[in-house]
Amino acid sequence: TGDMNPANDKQTGSVTVETPPPPAWTQKPNIPTQVARKFVSSGGALVGVGNNLYAFRGNNSNEFYKFDGSNWTLMASAPSTVGEGGALCYDGVNTIYATQGNGKNAFWAYSISTNTWSTKANIPVTVKGGTGLAYYNGRVYLLAGGQRVNRPNFYTYNPSNNSWTQLANAPTPDNIAYGAGSCLAELGGKIYALKNDGTINYFHAYTISSNTWTQMPSMPLVHPYLGANNLVGDGGAMTSSGSEIYAIKGNGYNEFWKYTEGTPGTWTPLDTIPRLNSKSVPKSGASLGYANSKVWLIKGNNTQEFWQYDPSLGLVTMITPTINPAQMSQNSEINKFSFNIAPNPIVKNAVIRYTIPQSGKVTIKLYSITGSLIATLKDEYQNVGTYSMTFSTKHLAKGIYFLRFDNLVNRTDLKIIIN
């Protein structure tokens, strides 16, 4: 067990340390509100437009905002109040399409150049939580949340003639309807749907040319840096960068994932979402957007929080080194390096676990967010194997820290949050 009292750390006095990379998640200016204490909740939605972002606050408001990278600006109000099932998508030219949600079938278009809204043909069904929009090649695609199983739930809208067409239903292999947390995104000319609470986090791809759905690898239940089985729920969201999909589970979990197309496609766990307090978690109204090579997040859950994720600064790196077989224990099946901590965020105690496929000196150090060395938790020679140690926060203030693992072959930084 590592001693977490900085006073007991042998490294004292003036110490020069290498500053950890900047955090991938950065908090940005809060999204505004026109009504005191009513922030982003059900119906919150975010969409990237070039280097800007546009957002519904939801929460039964008609507030619509633009973020230019520095500041929020209140834009023309939506035609009516937006609630559960509110969603946005961008046509890549000048128009943002939107659903009202709230059990209504209203569908709107927003002109970016004129800052005006117009009403379009009603959606064939009323929509609620779990509604998603995506745009591809001149058409809007809509996942209609809140429909009963086996009822129509997937449509396309043609702007050229202002009409809707019913498409093949998004699958429900668990016999549970698409509800709050279900979401839609376009990638590589396919439309992807992530499903809410069920038995697993079902993920399907829609092929436009054949009007068919294909089951893809489900979003994993367990994020390796949290260590619990979690299902997508209220506040689940996706956004596309054009080369991959970024996703959150919502449901009060701070998990963050990336999906990359392939055969059959892969999910990668990313830096967990910072948590400032017990309410600071993605839930009702949470939404993701992609702009300026960054992923953006509004957390919903009646908070104003707005965050940016820089994929180039992701701290969680898993390295599998090339190892001489002669260096491996003949009886060991361990062949991959890993390093994680759970739970994260941490309230009192957590467990650090790591596997080393090559014997050697291991150091694990704790740094502050500014790069100051707080404590050395491990500094010794260790043989090939899997290890665990208790991490106590008894002597630490709440905030963001970094754990750095180094054994000369593998070097990894983990961002941790102490609540």
- The first and second tokens of residue 169, run together, are 């239903």
Q: How many CB atoms lie within 10 A of CB 231?
A: 19
Mean pLDDT of 374-385: 85
Residues forming beta bridges with residue 368, ordered by sequence position? 401
Residue with the bigger pLDDT between 140 and 264: it is 140
Asked which of 142-146, 238-242, 334-338 is least confident by mean pLDDT, the reply is 334-338
Report how far Cα 3 is from the mean position of its chain's Cα atoms. 33
pLDDT beyond 50 at 329: no
Residue with the bigger pLDDT between 274 and 30: it is 30
pLDDT beyond 80 at 20: no
Asked which of 39-48, 111-120, 182-191, 387-396 is least confident by mean pLDDT, the reply is 387-396
The per-residue pLDDT of the chain, averaged, comes to 88
Confidence of residue 315 (pLDDT cuts 50, 70, 90): low
**Contact (CB, 8 A) for 253 and 343:** no
The string of DSSP letters for 235-254 reads: T-EEEE-SS-EEEE--TT--
pTM of this structure:
0.74
Structure confidence at residue 22 (pLDDT): 60
Confidence of residue 379 (pLDDT cuts 50, 70, 90): confident
Structure confidence at residue 319 (pLDDT): 30
pLDDT tens readout for residues 339-357: 999 999 998 889 999 988 8
Residues forming beta bridges with residue 360, ordered by sequence position? 382
Q: How many CB atoms lie within 10 A of CB 207?
A: 13
Mean pLDDT of 239-267: 95
**How would you label 290-311 residue by residue, b for 16+ Cβ within 10 Å and e otherwise?**
bbeebbbbbbbbbbebbbbbbb
pLDDT beyond 50 at 414: yes
Mean pLDDT of 128-142: 98
Single-letter amino acid, residue 245: I
